[in-house]
A and B are shown apart, each in its own frame.
Chain A
Amino acid sequence: MRIKADTGVCVGAGQCVLTEPAVFDQDDDGIVVLLTDQPGDQAAARAREAVGLCPSQALSIVED
């Protein structure tokens, strides 16, 4: 699986960073930054949770 982030839609709520800081970060303006778009097994489940929590639906999953 791959994670996609739409920085134009992101509202900087930061829920993704709280959920999986190994995958998600925020820039100085609060907008999502992907640290990797292909999380390993352990991080993948939490990255999926982050996608479901994102209030602006800026995150999505692309299944390979």
Chain B
Amino acid sequence: MTETVASELPAQAFPVPRGCPFSEPAEYARLRERAPVSKVRLPGGEQAWWVSGYEEGRAVLADPRFSSDRRKDNFPNPTGDPRFRERFRRQPPSMIGMDGADHSAARRAVIGEFTVKRLAALRPRIQQIVDGFIDDMLAAGTRPVDLVRALSLPVPSLVICEMLGAPYADHEYFQSRTAALIRRSTPSDERLRASDELRSYLADLLARKEAEPGDDLYSRQIARQRTGGALDHESLVSTATLLLLAGHETTANMISLGVVGLLEHPEQLALIKSDPAKTPLAVEELLRYFAIVETATSRVATEDVEIGGVTVKADEGIIVSGLSANWDPAMFSSPGELDLERGARHHIAFGYGPHQCLGQNLARLELQIVFDTLFRRIPGLRLAGPVDDIPFKANASIYGAYELPVTW
């Protein structure tokens, strides 16, 4: 890779930890004003291109000349620890690490499970799950309540467990490993161990499903592969791990941040309280505003590509910042204002291009049901302390809150 001289790079490593949920890091706006695509240093010392602009970000993510293959040299590795790349090379990639026809085949094997119609049929069950956890909150009698443990994590965890066919009783096991994986400050050894433990947990679960299939996604994936020929256990484990991890941690963090965002903007919250028909678009704005998954949209160029006034050379890594793109004032006027009636559905909180989030419509459904139900059933809900006291995940690959004490 051609190294840009260090003095031309921003002093701070990217991605920059977020200071608070209500603004992007100041460095992002500065860099975006200077250039929509520029070189940055990653925390582990490697360099990569950083895409700040919305148009350029969408262009990169739709361009097949940028590869998602995490095994390639220079695919952005924020830790700088080569063991992560080695690990990717030893196990079959899940669909997020595939390109072209391979990716298309892997995605098509599961996308039928996530159609708008299939998900709409889940609505009554999701409503029941949300009501159940809110019943528990109200019945407990103690306040304040940590909303993360009471609602944000259990709702998507139980929903995805039922969909996939994973036992919810194991939730502490997979939630703790996921938490270790996404925390950037977790030592590499511990992260690698968490990743191995999740895989071996799912390998065991899939072996049980193979012997005793159920009416669930994991069992149907096994049956589908068997129809097509021999079972590829390792690739089934890769898909299973991806779905379990992506299915609970992301939505959980959006629930917590959405609640904070709504409570801190009472005039906005009043809009959806008085008219739940506004909730779907409100959810889109919350997704844009918080853009919790920032660097999953990393790629590596397979040939020289001109973009945003620069040439990204073949084999150079590139990161599309979902947060920076969603706060690009060229696309979203006054991006720092939370405006639930903005009507902005073209944000890239779920990414863009062929890899756009597989579970996006499940996430939308869960978020709509949670926000409508929570504020209807507990209209007096409020933060138990100042917002500045909430421990936010300033330095995690998925932004959110570790705890969210609420009362009413």
Report if A and B associate in a common complex: yes
**Residues of A near any B CB (own CB < 8 A):** 11-15, 17-19, 21, 25-31, 49, 52-53, 55-57
Distance (whole angstroms) from the CB of A7 to the closest CB of chain B = 11
Produce 1/0 per residue, B354-393, CB < 8 A to A.
1111001100100000000000000000000000000000
A14 proximity list for chain B (CB < 8 A): 114-116, 360-361
- Interface status of B29 (Cβ within 8 A of chain A): no
- Interface status of B26 (Cβ within 8 A of chain A): no
Please determine whether A26 and B115 come into contact, CB atoms closer than 8 angstroms.
yes
**Residues of B near any A CB (own CB < 8 A):** 61-62, 104, 107-108, 111-117, 345-346, 350-357, 360-361, 364
Known interface pairs A12-B115, A57-B62; A29-B351 also in contact (CB < 8 Å): no
**A11 to B364 Cα, complex, angstroms:** 18
Distance (whole angstroms) from the CB of B274 to the closest CB of chain A = 23
B360 proximity list for chain A (CB < 8 A): 13-15
Q: Which 5 A-B pairs have the closest CB atoms?
A: A30-B111, A12-B111, A55-B356, A17-B116, A29-B112
**A24 to B45 Cα, complex, angstroms:** 47
Known interface pairs A13-B360, A14-B361; A28-B112 also in contact (CB < 8 Å): yes
B112 proximity list for chain A (CB < 8 A): 12, 27-30
Residue of B nearest to A19 (CB): B345
Please determine whether B345 and A12 come into contact, CB atoms closer than 8 angstroms.
no
Residue of B nearest to A56 (CB): B354
A-B contact count (CB 8 A): 65
**A28 to B121 Cα, complex, angstroms:** 14
Distance (whole angstroms) from the CB of B127 to the closest CB of chain A = 19
**A57 to B350 Cα, complex, angstroms:** 16
Residue of B nearest to A16 (CB): B116
B355 proximity list for chain A (CB < 8 A): 11
Please determine whether B345 and A53 come into contact, CB atoms closer than 8 angstroms.
yes
Neighbour of B356 across the interface among A11, A26, A27, CB < 8 A: A11
Neighbour of B115 across the interface among A30, A52, A53, A56, CB < 8 A: A30
Main SS class of interface, B: helix
Neighbour of A11 across the interface among B111, B115, B116, CB < 8 A: B111
Please determine whether B116 and A18 come into contact, CB atoms closer than 8 angstroms.
yes
Please determine whether B353 and A56 come into contact, CB atoms closer than 8 angstroms.
yes
Please determine whether B353 and A30 come into contact, CB atoms closer than 8 angstroms.
no
Distance (whole angstroms) from the CB of A19 to the closest CB of chain B = 8
A11 proximity list for chain B (CB < 8 A): 104, 107, 111, 354-356
**A51 to B354 Cα, complex, angstroms:** 15
**A52 to B61 Cα, complex, angstroms:** 15
Distance (whole angstroms) from the CB of A20 to the closest CB of chain B = 11
**A28 to B346 Cα, complex, angstroms:** 26
Residue of A nearest to B109 (CB): A29
A19 proximity list for chain B (CB < 8 A): 345
Known: A27-B112, A56-B354; 7 extra A-B contacts, CB below 8 A, are A12-B112, A12-B114, A14-B116, A19-B345, A28-B112, A30-B108, A30-B113
A49 proximity list for chain B (CB < 8 A): 345
B116 proximity list for chain A (CB < 8 A): 14, 17-18, 21, 26
Known interface pairs A26-B115, A52-B346; A13-B108 also in contact (CB < 8 Å): no
**A21 to B356 Cα, complex, angstroms:** 20
Distance (whole angstroms) from the CB of B107 to the closest CB of chain A = 6
Distance (whole angstroms) from the CB of B111 to the closest CB of chain A = 4
**A52 to B352 Cα, complex, angstroms:** 12
- 6 CB contacts below 8 A, A to B, read A12-B108, A29-B108, A30-B108, A52-B346, A53-B345, A55-B353
Please determine whether B352 and A55 come into contact, CB atoms closer than 8 angstroms.
yes
Distance (whole angstroms) from the CB of B123 to the closest CB of chain A = 14
Please determine whether B351 and A55 come into contact, CB atoms closer than 8 angstroms.
yes
B357 proximity list for chain A (CB < 8 A): 13
Residue of A nearest to B119 (CB): A14
B352 proximity list for chain A (CB < 8 A): 55
B361 proximity list for chain A (CB < 8 A): 14, 18
A12 proximity list for chain B (CB < 8 A): 107-108, 111-112, 114-115
**A31 to B361 Cα, complex, angstroms:** 15
